[in-house]
Structure formats: structure tokens, C-alpha cells
């Protein structure tokens, strides 16, 4: 079978493969055509086994490495990547806590029966109602993201008769991208407080009887491949821990380094994507060295990965509606497309409403024909959606069999994170359902929307 048919296990869920006789893509042991017949198109598919295995592997790698250096690590799943009651339950069962960023995400975690003590609550503008709800529910940690929040959380905790554990989010001045990181003394963004405010603000937190300051938090970015950014950020925070220990009269017990571990969206990226075991080892070494240098005891660690757990577990299935060949000669096609005479635009029944990432971030994805393998000569394709925007692109460029035609099913890999969660109803397109597959079984975990439901939101005058 040619590369244009290949299901790369470094990009597609680890259990995805083509059936030997039918040539069809099978997800969790189920044929793509069967999934579409049962649940409709387009369809988000999440491989439960892969999501659970990744959650457990990441938790065990981090906990193992931090145990090696003599401390502990807690792992929280960042629900913003993709959250519903079922996924929250999987994460709790795999021994992870959950990080929520709104009252809505908190409601999902609580509905799933996640132990409130294992929930962290983030947000740069939590409402008073959200804060009160979190405190009353017994949420383990609230992450303070502004000076105003100190008094708000302290008052809510006092009113509830609780001593609320809190972390302070610090803007370490480190911002990591996929391949590089940028370290400045200040970073121009909305999250956290600058390093030079930390001493005073922690003092203010510590003065409240109803607050229990447990440590600093820092999240340096997302889709990170190199560990340099974590190194610099940890070094800066650990430096502060030395000063804080003196001021507070004892060591700061915990340090949360956030999430952000990158994944491979394409086979080309797969050669560079970090493996979690070596990232965990490096992170533990970075923290051990930093604490030794600063002469402070090791804090307990916490991490909040989202994408690296759920991203590779997801695939979106679409049905092809139309195709259109566009000549590239005389266009401003980029170098990577040199040598191709034309680009085949393949339009599917979804688009930027179910995956906004290419439009928002110029994100790359990989696509394969899902309902069959084909020996046809490969073609340069761009998979586009059905929305009224030329930026409505699902896959910028890939090479698949050139006989792709209306009625074919396409599978776009690694859509588990930040696709459903960033989805919209642009052009009144209903959101697709989410189906979990595992061991040859498929079940609905998030219902799709119907046009009637969307229409019902319009207020129709009598």
C-alpha cells in the first residue's frame, strides 16, 4: 500500500489501522463506514483506550521521575482540551485530577463525580458566583490570577467556613512555542502576575486566615516540543521559592508547572515530537538541579496536560461532497507545492465550525481516505469545509490517492484536543456528535446538535 494510504500510528490513534481485506480505516476495531452509518457525518471519534492509556502513561512517567528525585507529582487533566462527563470519568479513573477553567467545566467535572478535592480551578476573571460555587463544592485548589481575586476568594471561603487552598499564577516571562522559547522579564499577556509582584502578593494571601497558600503556578504555552522553556521558567520560580521560604518562615510546599506538551499532527512532525518519558525525566532533573542550586527542599509538583492526553486519541470523519482541481502554475503556491501542477480542493460536510485550529493558528493536520485504500496516483489535496469563508480549511496540504471522490469518507487525525471545545455554529451548522470507540464497540458520549435546536434559540415574535 502506498504512503498516501498509510495510517501512521504516530499521528492516528495507536489502535487505528486499515482492515486487511476491506482496506477501510478501523477506529477502536470499528470500520469508519459503520460509524458513519450509525452516527451520521461528520463525526468526532475518540478512542477511549488510547485516551486512557495516554493519561495513565503521562501520569506514571511524571510520578515515576519525580519519585526518583525524592518528591511527588500530581497530574491534572486540562479539561479545556476536550471535556464531557464521560472523559472526566475516564481521567478520574486513570488517577488524574481535573483542571477546569470556568463554572461550566466545573459543572461537568462535578457531574462526572470527580472528587472535588482533585479539581483545580483556573481563570483570569472568575465571577463571584463561580468562586462561591467552587469553594462550597470543596474544590481542591483555586488558582489566583489577579490581585482582586485574593479578597474575593478569601471572602467566599470565610463565608463558607472553609480554609481554601490557593495557588498564585505567575507570569514568568517565558513563552514557549513549538520549537523555541522566548524569555523576557515581563510578558505582555493577560494571565498571571509578574514575577516582581509575587513577594508582596503572597504576603497578602498569607495574611488571610481563610486562605491556605500552597504554591506558585505557571503555564508557559501550548504545543511545546523543547524543554528549554520549562527549564527557564522552573529556574525563575524556584528562585522565588528561596525568597518566599525566608519571608514565610518555611518552604512553599507545591509547584505547578502547567501543561503544554506538544503532539505530532503530521508524520513530518512525528520525527520531532518529544516522547513523554524523556520530557518527564528532563523536567525532574531541571527541578532537582534548580532546588539544589537555590538550596531549598523539593516541593511537590503538579502538571496540567490536556492536548498530549486527548489530542492523539481523536479523529474526525467527514464525507466528501465535491472536488475541484485548481492549476497551480501562475499562483503563489508555496515551495512545498512546487512540482505539483494542480491542487485538488476536496470539500467536506464540516469545516471551521468543527475545527477552528487551521483558521485560528494555521495548524497542520493529516488526512486519509477512510472507506477504502486506493492504488490511484497520489494528488496534492487541500481539504476545505462548507462555510462561507476562503479560510475555511481543515487540512492545508496533504497527499492522498487522486481518485478521491464525492461519497468517500475522510479521516483527519489528531483532532481530539481543541476541536470540539472550540467548535461553533457558524452558518447555522450543527455541531457533530462525539462517539467513543473501544474494543470493537462504539457509544455516543456527546450528542450532536440538530437544526431544530439551533433554530429554537431564535426568539420568534407572536
Give the E-state strand segments of 389-448 in sequence order. 393-401, 409-413, 434-438, 441-446
**Stretch (H or E) spanning 91:** helix 85-93
280 binds ligand LLP (CB under 6 A): no
Task: Indicate which residue of 22, 218, 291, 388 is catalytic.
Answer: 388
Interacting positions 417-436 with ligand LLP (CB under 6 A): 417-418
260 binds ligand LLP (CB under 6 A): yes
Active site residue 388: yes
316 binds ligand LLP (CB under 6 A): no
How near is the Cβ of 359 to ligand LLP at its closest, in Å?
11
Closest CB to ligand LLP among residues 215, 402: 215
Closest CB to ligand LLP among residues 259, 290: 259
Taking CB under 6 A as the binding criterion, the range among 49-57, 86-94, 270-278, 306-314 that sits at the site for ligand LLP is 306-314
- Alpha carbon of 385 to those of 268, 350, 449: distances in Å? 24, 5, 18
End-to-end CA distance of the chain: 61
CA-nearest of 154, 162, 99, 152 to 128 is: 152
Among 36, 55, 78, 240, binds ligand LLP (CB under 6 A): 78
Interacting positions 120-149 with ligand LLP (CB under 6 A): 122
CA-nearest of 173, 259, 244, 177 to 214 is: 244
Bridge partners, 142 (sequence order)? 121, 166
Contact by Cβ (8 Å): 386, 429: yes
Secondary structure of residue 331 in the 3-state scheme: coil
CA-nearest of 290, 430, 423, 311 to 365 is: 311
357 binds ligand LLP (CB under 6 A): yes
Taking CB under 6 A as the binding criterion, the range among 54-62, 128-136, 302-310, 440-448 that sits at the site for ligand LLP is 302-310
Cβ neighbour number for residue 197 with a 10 Å cutoff = 14
CA-nearest of 279, 315, 450 to 395 is: 315
Per-residue interface string for the shown chain with ligand LLP, residues 43-72, x marking contact by CB under 6 A: ------------------------------
**What's the rounded Cα separation, in Å, for the pair 146 and 52?**
34
Closest CB to ligand LLP among residues 133, 219: 219
How near is the Cβ of 418 to ligand LLP at its closest, in Å?
3
How near is the Cβ of 82 to ligand LLP at its closest, in Å?
10
Per-residue interface string for the shown chain with ligand LLP, residues 204-223, x marking contact by CB under 6 A: ---------------x--xx
Looking at the annotation, which residues are catalytic? 388
The residues of the shown chain that bind ligand LLP, judged by CB under 6 A, are 78, 80-81, 99, 122, 219, 222-223, 258-261, 304-308, 357, 361, 417-418
Amino acid at each position: 500500500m502506498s504512503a498516501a494510504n498509510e495510517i501512521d500510528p504516530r499521528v492516528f490513534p495507536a489502535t487505528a489501522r486499515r482492515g486487511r481485506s476491506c482496506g477501510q480505516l478501523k477506529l477502536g476495531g470499528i470500520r469508519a463506514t459503520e460509524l458513519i452509518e450509525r452516527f451520521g457525518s461528520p463525526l468526532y471519534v475518540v478512542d477511549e483506550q488510547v485516551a486512557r492509556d495516554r493519561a495513565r502513561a503521562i501520569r506514571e512517567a511524571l510520578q515515576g521521575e519525580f519519585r526518583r528525585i525524592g518528591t511527588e507529582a500530581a497530574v491534572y487533566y486540562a479539561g479545556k482540551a476536550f471535556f464531557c462527563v464521560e472523559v472526566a470519568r475516564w481521567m478520574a479513573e486513570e488517577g488524574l485530577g481535573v483542571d477546569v477553567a470556568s463554572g461550566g467545566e466545573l459543572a461537568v467535572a462535578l457531574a462526572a463525580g470527580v472528587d472535588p478535592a482533585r479539581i483545580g480551578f483556573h481563570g483570569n476573571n472568575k465571577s463571584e458566583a463561580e468562586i462561591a460555587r467552587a469553594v462550597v463544592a470543596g474544590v481542591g485548589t483555586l488558582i489566583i490570577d489577579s490581585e482582586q481575586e485574593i479578597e474575593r476568594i478569601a471572602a467566599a471561603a470565610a463565608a463558607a467556613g472553609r480554609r481554601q487552598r490557593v495557588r498564585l499564577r505567575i507570569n514568568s516571562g517565558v513563552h514557549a512555542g513549538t520549537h523555541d522559547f522566548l524569555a523576557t522579564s515581563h510578558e505582555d499577556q493577560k494571565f498571571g502576575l509578574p514575577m516582581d509582584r509575587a513577594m508582596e502578593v503572597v504576603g497578602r494571601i498569607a495574611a488571610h486566615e481563610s486562605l491556605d497558600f500552597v504554591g506558585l503556578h505557571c503555564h508557559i504555552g501550548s504545543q511545546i516540543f523543547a524543554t528549554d522553556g520549562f527549564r527557564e521558567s522552573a529556574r525563575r520560580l524556584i528562585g522565588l521559592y528561596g525568597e518566599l521560604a525566608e519571608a514565610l518562615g518555611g518552604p512553599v510546599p507545591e509547584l505547578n508547572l502547567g501543561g503544554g506538551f506538544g503532539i505530532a499532527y503530521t508524520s513530518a512532525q512525528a520525527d520531532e515530537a518529544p516522547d513523554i518519558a524523556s520530557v518527564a525525566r528532563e523536567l525532574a532533573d531541571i527541578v532537582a538541579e534548580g532546588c539544589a542550586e537555590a538550596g531549598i527542599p523539593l516541593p511537590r509538583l503538579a502538571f496540567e496536560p490536556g492536548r498530549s492526553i486527548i489530542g492523539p486519541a481523536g479523529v474526525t470523519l467527514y464525507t466528501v461532497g465535491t472536488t475541484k482541481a485548481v492549476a497551480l502554475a501562475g499562483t503563489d503556491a508555496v515551495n512545498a507545492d512546487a512540482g505539483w501542477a494542480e491542487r485538488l480542493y476536496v470539500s467536506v460536510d464540516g469545516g471551521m465550525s468543527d475545527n477552528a485550529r487551521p483558521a485560528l493558528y494555521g495548524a497542520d493536520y493529516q488526512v486519509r481516505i477512510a472507506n477504502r485504500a486506493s492504488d490511484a496516483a497520489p494528488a496534492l489535496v487541500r481539504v476545505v469545509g462548507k462555510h462561507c469563508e476562503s479560510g475555511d480549511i481543515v487540512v492545508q496540504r496533504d497527499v492522498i490517492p487522486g481518485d478521491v471522490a464525492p461519497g468517500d469518507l475522510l479521516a483527519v487525525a489528531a483532532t481530539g484536543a481543541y476541536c470540539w471545545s472550540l467548535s461553533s455554529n457558524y452558518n447555522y451548522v450543527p455541531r457533530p456528535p462525539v462517539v467513543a470507540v473501544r474494543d470493537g464497540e462504539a457509544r455516543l458520549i456527546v450528542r450532536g446538535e440538530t437544526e431544530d435546536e439551533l433554530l429554537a434559540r431564535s426568539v420568534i415574535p407572536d
